[in-house]
């Protein structure tokens, strides 16, 4: 089965199909909508000569029963309930972007994924269960975990203080969820020179692996 994976970000969409090594990037941005996404993806894949039968789509927000629950804060409107299967003319599996990367990182046991980027993306995987989490919204100190480890705090306070909050956040989530392993992803994870016990760095490429895996087995998510 030829799967197209779309990883949606606030700055770019990233596309990849099986058998390809170079992903395609399409700019997104604050006003980006699903009505723009579908024709741009169709145009880019046609120009590259890519064919696909099904689509996996990682979305930066809450997804339930294969539908987007609410519009993202960093893009345009119209995402909630949008019918991507009709837009692409083929079956589409929608999943939270952190959950898709968690699945691509999974090697067994109970895995917790923590993505440190613009905010904090979290998800767990255990065997055939994928559990998207909104852990970044949990209260922490005077606001939320996401506020204290997000990109704005890194820019404002610098790496040293940001890393202190990150390590504290990792331990809080470890104590709560009791994973066998924690994968640290997101663009800012590269600043974590020292990794806590039972943690490893992930890769953005794992999002594509997760998108391919969605069609290889039956997962509950």
Helix axes 97-105, 205-213, angle to 10 degrees: 90
Superfamily, domain 100-207: ATPase, nucleotide binding domain (3.30.420.40)
Integer Cα distance of 210 and 199 in angstroms = 19
Domain boundaries, the chain: 3-96, 100-207
Mean pLDDT for each consecutive 10-residue tract of the chain (221 residues)?
94 94 94 96 97 97 94 91 96 97 98 94 97 95 94 94 97 98 96 96 94 96 92
CATH 3.30.200.20 given to domain 3-96? no
Looking at residue 98, its pLDDT comes to 96
Task: Say if pTM beats, i.e. exceeds, 0.75.
Answer: yes
DSSP state for residue 137 in the 8-state scheme: G
DSSP state for residue 164 in the 8-state scheme: H
Looking at residue 118, its pLDDT comes to 86
Q: In b/e form, how buried is each residue of 60-98, taking b as 16+ CB within 10 angstroms?
A: bbebeeeebeebbebbbeebeebebeebbeeebbbbbbb
| Fold agreement between 3-96 and 100-207 | yes
Integer Cα distance of 50 and 31 in angstroms = 27
Q: How many CB atoms lie within 10 A of CB 107?
A: 10
Residue 31 sits at the vertex; the CA angle it makes with 28 and 13, to the nearest 5 degrees, is 15
């Amino acid at each position: 089965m030829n799967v197209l994976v779309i990883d949606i970000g606030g700055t770019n969409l990233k596309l990849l199909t099986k058998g390809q090594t170079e992903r395609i990037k399409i700019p997104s941005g604050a006003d980006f909508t699903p009505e723009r996404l579908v024709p741009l993806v169709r145009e880019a894949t046609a120009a590259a000569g890519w064919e696909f039968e099904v689509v996996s789509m990682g979305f930066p927000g809450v997804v339930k029963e294969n539908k987007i629950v609410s519009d993202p804060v960093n893009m345009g409107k119209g995402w909630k309930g949008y019918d991507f299967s009709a837009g692409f003319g083929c079956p589409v599996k929608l999943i939270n972007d952190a959950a898709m990367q968690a699945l691509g990182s999974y090697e067994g046991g109970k895995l917790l994924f923590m993505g440190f980027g613009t905010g904090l993306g979290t998800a767990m995987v255990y065997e055939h269960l994928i559990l998207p989490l909104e852990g970044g919204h949990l209260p922490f100190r005077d606001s939320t975990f996401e506020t204290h480890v997000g990109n704005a705090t890194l820019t404002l306070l610098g790496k040293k203080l940001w890393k202190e909050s990150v390590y504290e956040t990792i331990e809080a989530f470890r104590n709560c969820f009791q994973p066998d392993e924690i994968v640290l992803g997101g663009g800012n994870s590269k600043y974590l020179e020292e990794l806590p016990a039972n943690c490893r760095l992930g890769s953005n490429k794992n999002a594509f692996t997760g998108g391919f895996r969605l069609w290889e087995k039956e997962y509950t998510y």
